[in-house]
Amino acid sequence: MSTATSLVLACPSCHRLNRVPAERLREAPTCGQCHQPLFAGRPFDLDETGFDLHAARSDVPLLVDFWAPWCGPCRAMAPAYAQAAGVLEPEVRLAKVNTEEARTLAARFRIQSIPTMILFLHGRELARQSGAMPAQAIAQWVRQHLPLSPG
């Protein structure tokens, strides 16, 4: 009866690629390598090293918050962004990129104001939004930009 499709996603802890049956995403899957949760209900930190693995190789859309520690609006939005992770996972994964530490990524994606959120799927930018938002608005914005899933 099941025509299960497996999704590839990178572990937020060790960055190894994992295959997870789509119907098991809500069952708290763990990494086959490090055994950490693949979805923690909170954003994970991302740098240049693992960025492409998560943004381009994973089959689950990735929302990235480009921020900096000195940015007041970024710090103000952080709790809302964390709350949005709890709402959006496992349909979307949420990561944070510190633009002070990952200057190459900030330049690559032409980040001119922060916070800036970019939604990625298979390495392609689906949408971009600058400015702080509450959790409900983040979730709503993401959902309106997600591609329709087949079936």
Question: For the chain, what is the domain count?
Answer: 1
Instruction: Give the pLDDT score at 149.
Output: 56
Q: What is the CATH number of the domain that holds 102?
A: 3.40.30.10
Q: Catalytic residue among 11, 14, 34, 74, which?
A: 74
Instruction: Give the pLDDT score at 4.
Output: 59
- Residue 5 covered by a domain: no
Q: Catalytic residue among 14, 31, 34, 71, which?
A: 71
- Residue 117 covered by a domain: yes
Instruction: Give the pLDDT score at 51.
Output: 95
- Residue 16 covered by a domain: no
- Residue 13 covered by a domain: no
Instruction: Give the pLDDT score at 67.
Output: 98
Instruction: Give the pLDDT score at 147.
Output: 84
Angle CA 15–20–21, to nearest 5: 165
36, 66, 78, 93 from 13: Cα distances, Å: 7, 19, 20, 13
- Residue 135 covered by a domain: yes
Active site residue 14: no
- Residue 123 covered by a domain: yes
- Residue 9 covered by a domain: no
Return the structure tokens found at 89. 């996972």
- Residue 68 covered by a domain: yes
Alpha carbons 68 and 36: distance in angstroms, whole number = 27
Residue spans of the chain under pLDDT 50: 1-3, 150-151
Instruction: Give the pLDDT score at 150.
Output: 43
Alpha carbons 151 and 135: distance in angstroms, whole number = 28
Active site residue 74: yes
Domain of residue 131, residue span? 40-145
